[in-house]
Structure 1
């Protein structure tokens, strides 16, 4: 790490002027090249145009759910945030090997925001942040400060599917559209194969996600995991559209009905249960428990567990989800 960046970290509490000086050492020059002579690329974002290095070598990803796309593309990720706030973090089984080979580290973060000093210490030449939920909120709140550390691109909260997120990062940010299209083609082929191999339950589905029995959320139709299941023939009940309940956070992919009204709102014939930052919670924890015992799908037995990593799945998780669904709903003979 350069002396200037170490100085920035030491004097963070004194203000952001030194951070600005740090960023200046890696920003693009007037002729559109970086200090090392590498070309840059202009990326259009909701925050405006951002000039990023064409071949970044020290990427910091401030959303665990977005890191997999960088590893899929073999882009060097020096650091990312853990999946859960205030935790040591654990690499995803889908990209653990690459993260260890690259020496990727975890950066602390909390419900209050990111740790700016640790981001500076990572010495990034590009920051990728945003996505869905808290990571987007924190990145939006800290955007101006992050830009002073390194060029920062926020993935819009409107990009709710892995295709939208991966396409933006690969094509717009990294200029690797052809690589993304190969991933997309492989996924589409697998979707067609699985769709032919399964029998989809009749009626509509909903996805119930929880971090505990007392905090139920329902995923909004046509977003994230709901959108991933629909190409297979599942139809998501429009529960968000039907009920006057705000998303749990602006731009979020779920809403939180109270326990008292949950049985009336969660009316779909089939319900999938997914742990929200909690891999251990599932159908067996809810069966026979109030108010879940009054939810129609629980009463009929049409409830199924999905792995917690499918909640906001990236490309690798979306592919693995196809395997899970294929095993869960085999075609009738």
Structure 2
């Protein structure tokens, strides 16, 4: 069941047309202050306070999490960066909600000229990806950055919602997610069963080492929300993120359940060579038919509530008795 909320109910208090009546004495020192005269609001960001339009109409997003956030909140951006090496935008999002979005380059390498041509009134991204381009981006349109990506996705979502002036919708999305988590936890047997189920996350990377994911990342937080157990190697991850191994060390991914995927083509990532080989066949999860291939864009790239909602459904489908 798809529980994603498309938020459409917010009635804005003012419009950009009121800016002609703005005075010079209004203060915007407090975060999130609304100025009816100026038609702008102040949003706290990783780069400091930023004045954004009350009702942004032409938004460009610089990463996949931002794209998920906008679609979740019922906003279609005018421009977005490419999702991965094989796909333009996130393939789990409804095609009709992606229609008309212009490709503005790659993650961490956006095409500034293409962004400028779209005449955006708001740009949303992150400091970790594009700090060195912040001044150039800000010269095009007000630019809202979060600090980093991945594990703090819930906090980042609230910043995205604030920039869009859709905080009420965001609160509804968060509440629905929390309800869904509780339902899935019960469906898979309750907290005790979840804690006793060691879930391993394995990702083959085209052009890089294979990753065994730890706890401090997007998918790790979802598993934590469900109270699922993790194999010991998850706690050996550098900075909690991941342990990098070669495809020939795939046996380190063993657990009660394995979810695996590839960033890039399976034949180039090492997935095809590893899966079905002797090490793979000896894994406990494989022998018990509990190794499941998943969509990389959904489980690892989306990093938002629409993706999380679908992941919860898939987890329930695989883990419920």
What TM-score do you get using the length of structure 2 for normalisation? 0.74
Deviation at 1:97, TM superposition (A): 1.3
Matches within 5 A, 1:287-326: 287-289=275-277, 292=280, 297-298=285-286, 302-308=290-296, 309-312=298-301, 313-326=303-316
Q: Does 1:168 align with 2:165?
A: no
The match for 1:220 among 214, 222, 241 is 214
What secondary structure, in the 3-state scheme, does the structure 1 residue paired with 2:185 have? Answer: helix
Matches within 5 A, 1:123-162: 123-130=119-126, 137-157=128-148, 160-162=151-153
What CA deviation, in whole Å up to 9, does each residue of 1:298-325 have, x standing for no partner? Answer: 5665422222212143211111112111
Q: Does 1:188 align with 2:178?
A: yes
What secondary structure, in the 3-state scheme, does the structure 1 residue paired with 2:145 have? Answer: strand
> 2: distance between equivalents of 1:194 and 1:291?
32
Q: Does 1:274 align with 2:261?
A: yes
Matches within 5 A, 1:1-333: 39-84=39-84, 89-90=88-89, 92-100=91-99, 103-109=100-106, 113-130=109-126, 137-157=128-148, 160-170=151-161, 172-199=162-189, 200=193, 202-212=196-206, 215-237=209-231, 239=233, 241-242=235-236, 245=238, 253-259=241-247, 263=251, 265-266=252-253, 268-277=255-264, 286-289=274-277, 292=280, 297-298=285-286, 302-308=290-296, 309-312=298-301, 313-331=303-321
What CA deviation, in whole Å up to 9, does each residue of 1:192-222 have, x standing for no partner? Answer: 2222212457442221111349731122314
CA contact (8 A) 2:213 2:242 kept: yes
Segment drifting more, 116-125 vs 65-74: 65-74
CA contact (8 A) 1:262 1:291 kept: yes
CA contact (8 A) 1:82 1:90 kept: yes
CA contact (8 A) 1:32 1:39 kept: no
Superposed CA RMSD:
3.5
Count how many residue pairs are aligned between Structure 1 and Structure 2. 286
What secondary structure, in the 3-state scheme, does the structure 2 residue paired with 1:153 have? Answer: strand
Which is bigger in relative contact order (C-alpha 8 A, separation at least 6)? 2
Gaps of 5+ in 1: 1-27, 131-135, 248-252
CA contact (8 A) 2:134 2:143 kept: yes
> 1: distance between equivalents of 2:104 and 2:176?
32
CA contact (8 A) 2:205 2:270 kept: no
Deviation at 1:147, TM superposition (A): 1.4
> 2: distance between equivalents of 1:258 and 1:137?
27
Deviation at 1:158, TM superposition (A): 5.8
Deviation at 1:46, TM superposition (A): 2.2
CA contact (8 A) 1:161 1:228 kept: no
> 1: distance between equivalents of 2:95 and 2:173?
19
> 1: distance between equivalents of 2:156 and 2:281?
37
